[in-house]
């Protein structure tokens, strides 16, 4: 399914250079800094990999990077331990030496329901700083299929956006995106042969994405690949549909649980879709 190469773990202290609001609850942040002068290991179609983003402590603008040789989650003696979250890199501008991340603005700062990443992104301004570690490697998705089924919720938009842009000329795809409400819809692609379906979650909770995936007309040939990422219960439903109901071989399916409803600070590496 994928080919993988290992990277040396980079430690970068970066500064916000631009902020774009793509929808009311989705923000794109551009990052620059001397630590990017030597470049960044951005690999086309390597959307399954992530960087660890280190956020300042509440009330602070400073970020302390872990020292080389120390475990990633350890800092120098006396330094506050930063909060960390995993993110798919959305883009890399080689000419500007600019790294691009995207954030879903979950929850509300007023009632404390916003997570550390959403809270930071909601208030991000030019000049603010983040730490970025990694990626440790690059898993490159296949590009030799004629048709692709690409599905996910808002948290998967960086990966979906990259696949839409980076799949080779001549590829065709159906992209299914789950969003909280109508305001979150936007133009994802105008590529010929790429169709986009939005599944509005609203107050219906889980089920919108899996139902929309089931409604996609599938090719009558076998030259296609499926990628899906998002909330665990939705991904289990999508995976079961693809693997168990229609019998898609494992080598033509990639389904990843990024987060779990009701669980904060979840390590997505520990997610087992068989256990939900």
Structural domain tally of the chain? 2
Of 114, 137, 160, the one marking the end of a domain is 137
Angle CA 48–119–160, to nearest 5: 25
Say whether pLDDT at 2 is over 60: no
Whether 108 maps to a domain, the answer reads yes
6 C-beta neighbours (distance < 10 Å), count? 9
Whether 209 maps to a domain, the answer reads yes
Query: Is residue 124 domain-shared with residue 157, that is, in the same domain?
Result: no
Q: What percent of the chain has pLDDT over 70?
A: 83
Q: 3-class DSSP state for residue 214?
A: helix
Whether 276 maps to a domain, the answer reads no
- Distances from the Cα of 264 to the Cα of 64, 152, 261, angstroms: 23, 19, 8
Give the chain's largest Cα–Cα span: 61
Of 113, 137, 161, the one marking the end of a domain is 137
What average pLDDT does range 211-222 have in this prediction? 97
Query: Is residue 75 domain-shared with residue 158, that is, in the same domain?
Result: no
Instruction: Provide the whole-model pTM.
Output: 0.90
Domain enclosing residue 56, as ranges: 3-137
Query: Is residue 154 domain-shared with residue 130, that is, in the same domain?
Result: no
What is the Cα–Cα distance from 224 to 81, expressed in whole angstroms? 44
Q: What is the pLDDT of residues 156-183, one digit of tens each?
A: 999 999 999 999 999 999 999 999 999 9
Of 137, 171, 191, the one marking the end of a domain is 137
**Do 2 and 142 form a contact (C-beta atoms < 8 A)?**
yes
22 φ/ψ angles, rounded to the nearest 5 degrees = -85, -30
- Strand locations in the chain, DSSP E? 3-6, 11-23, 26-32, 51-55, 83-87, 91-93, 98-104, 129-133, 137-140, 147-152, 172-179, 194-200, 224-231, 253-259
Say whether pLDDT at 227 is over 70: yes
Whether 153 maps to a domain, the answer reads yes
């Amino acid at each position: 399914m994928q080919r993988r190469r290992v990277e040396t773990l980079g430690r970068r202290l970066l500064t916000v250079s631009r902020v774009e609001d793509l929808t009311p609850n989705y923000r794109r942040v551009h990052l620059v800094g001397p630590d990017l002068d030597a470049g960044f290991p951005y690999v086309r179609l390597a959307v399954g990999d992530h960087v660890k983003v280190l956020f300042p402590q509440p009330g602070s603008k400073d970020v302390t990077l872990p020292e080389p040789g120390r475990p990633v989650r350890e800092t120098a003696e006396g330094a506050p331990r930063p909060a960390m979250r995993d993110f798919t890199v959305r883009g890399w501008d080689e000419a500007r030496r600019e790294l691009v991340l995207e954030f879903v603005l979950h929850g509300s700062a007023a009632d404390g329901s916003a997570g550390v990443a959403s809270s930071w992104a909601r208030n991000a301004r030019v000049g603010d700083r983040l730490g970025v570690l990694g990626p440790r490697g690059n898993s490159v998705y296949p590009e030799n299929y004629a048709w692709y089924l690409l599905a996910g919720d808002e948290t998967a938009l960086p990966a979906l956006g990259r696949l839409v842009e980076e799949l080779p000329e001549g590829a065709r795809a159906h992209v299914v995106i789950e969003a909280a409400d109508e305001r979150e819809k936007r133009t994802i692609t105008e590529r010929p042969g790429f169709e986009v379906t939005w599944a509005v979650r609203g107050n219906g909770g889980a089920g919108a994405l899996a139902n929309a995936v089931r409604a996609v007309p599938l090719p009558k040939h076998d030259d296609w690949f499926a990628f899906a990422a998002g909330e665990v219960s939705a991904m289990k439903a999508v995976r079961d549909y693809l693997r168990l109901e229609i019998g898609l071989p494992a080598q033509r399916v990639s389904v990843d649980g990024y987060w779990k409803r009701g669980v904060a600070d979840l390590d997505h590496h520990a997610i087992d879709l068989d256990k939900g």
